[in-house]
Structure 1
Amino acid sequence: MSKSIEVKGMSCQHCVASVTDALNKVPGVKDLNVSLEDAKATFEEDSPVDMQKVKDAISAIGFEPGATAD
């Protein structure tokens, strides 16, 4: 199942790389795509993903998690 989350505050490709690194460490996240233009991260679930962990990972590196979508 595909999920996405808004990532507020990204302004460059370095930001994209930081968010990618952080979210790749969240259990269950696979096939991750972080888009600067769309200000969101989209991924598939390898196993059920705790979206609070996704939000926490984004916040921990200084960005603001926004709305989520399944």
Structure 2
Amino acid sequence: MTKKIYIKGMTCDHCVRRVENSLKAIEGVSSVKVDLQGKVATVELSKDVKDDEFVRAIDDAGYEVTKIE
């Protein structure tokens, strides 16, 4: 399963690494690819993960989720 998480507030490669590390720490996330230009993280899941877990991880990293698909 794949989810796209749209994120507000990322401006540089450091932001990308923070978001990647925050999302990779969630149980059930098998891979993360963050597109700085598109402001979106594409997350591959090995099991179902609730959207609020993504929101919390991104918020804790200092950014804001605008949409999850």
Residues in 2 aligned to 1:63 and 1:38: alpha-carbon distance in whole angstroms: 15
- 5 Å matches for 1:50-69? 50-69=50-69
Aligned to 1:30: 30
Aligned to 2:4: 4
Residues in 2 aligned to 1:43 and 1:60: alpha-carbon distance in whole angstroms: 17
- 5 Å matches for 1:13-24? 13-24=13-24
Residues in 1 aligned to 2:26 and 2:51: alpha-carbon distance in whole angstroms: 9
**Code of the aligned partner of 1:54:** F
CA-based RMSD of the aligned residues comes to 0.8
**Code of the aligned partner of 1:62:** G
**Code of the aligned partner of 1:43:** V
Give the TM-score normalised by structure 2. Answer: 0.94
Residues in 2 aligned to 1:50 and 1:59: alpha-carbon distance in whole angstroms: 15
Residues in 1 aligned to 2:51 and 2:29: alpha-carbon distance in whole angstroms: 10
Give the TM-score normalised by structure 1. Answer: 0.93
Shift >2 Å, 4+ stretches: none
Q: CA deviation at 1:66?
A: 1.1
Q: How many residue pairs end up in the alignment?
A: 69
